[in-house]
Amino acid sequence: MLEAISRNIAIKLKKNNPESDVDVEVLEYGIAMKLNKYGVILLTVILGTIFGHLYESILALVALATIRRFSGGAHFSSLTACMIISSLFCVITPMIHLSKTTAVVLTVVSVCIYYYRSPNWFEELTVHKNDTRYKYIAILIASGNLILQSSVIAIVFIVQALTLLPKGGVKDEKEH
């Protein structure tokens, strides 16, 4: 769905400005990324409001976007799936209540996974020269929840850490 909308917008933009040096595919990609980002935010805010967990849903979204920026992780096969599942995840997470001990244990497990597997880039486009720096930033961010002991953040960090475990990604290709 998002891909088709992006393609239609890109084709219309190119048709209106045929002298542009930008390819339709490049326009489509940029538009798709923006639609996905704003779609996740909008859907999370709407659903978070409906279910009465707006602030916690936004916390989940911010935590997910922040840790994912530095840790990498697997991607969904479509942007539409990414938008819907990410939004639902951010809205459902605040409904799960953990004890402080469980939140700390999940956070420690997350930190361990980030130490051994991050960053794990599953797309060549996101490979950075600062892999070691990104690893330690992800570990530092996750470790912050040892102080906060937030259930929402612990769940977000462990689920995000699990997206680093699938085989594949640029890191695994380099290891072989």
Residue pair 104/146 in contact by the 8 Å Cβ criterion: yes
pLDDT at 174: 46
Over residues 101-145, the pLDDT tens digits come to 999 999 999 999 999 999 987 765 555 567 889 999 999 999 999
**Signed CA dihedral, 37, 139, 74, 53: sign only:** negative
Of 3-17, 97-111, 131-145, 147-161, give the lowest mean pLDDT range.
Answer: 3-17
Place of tokens 């102080």: 147
Over residues 49-100, the pLDDT tens digits come to 999 999 999 999 999 999 999 999 988 889 999 999 999 999 999 999 999 9
Q: How many domains does the chain have?
A: 1
pLDDT at 80: 93
For 134-160, what is the mean pLDDT?
Answer: 97
Give CA–CA dist 122/167, Å, rounded. 10
Give CA–CA dist 155/157, Å, rounded. 5
pLDDT at 21: 87
pLDDT at 173: 45
Q: How many CB atoms lie within 10 A of CB 64?
A: 23
pLDDT at 129: 65
pLDDT at 168: 54
Q: Is the entire prediction scored with pTM above 0.85?
A: yes
Domain assignment of residue 163, given as a range: 2-175
CA angle 53, 153, 43 (to 5 degrees): 40
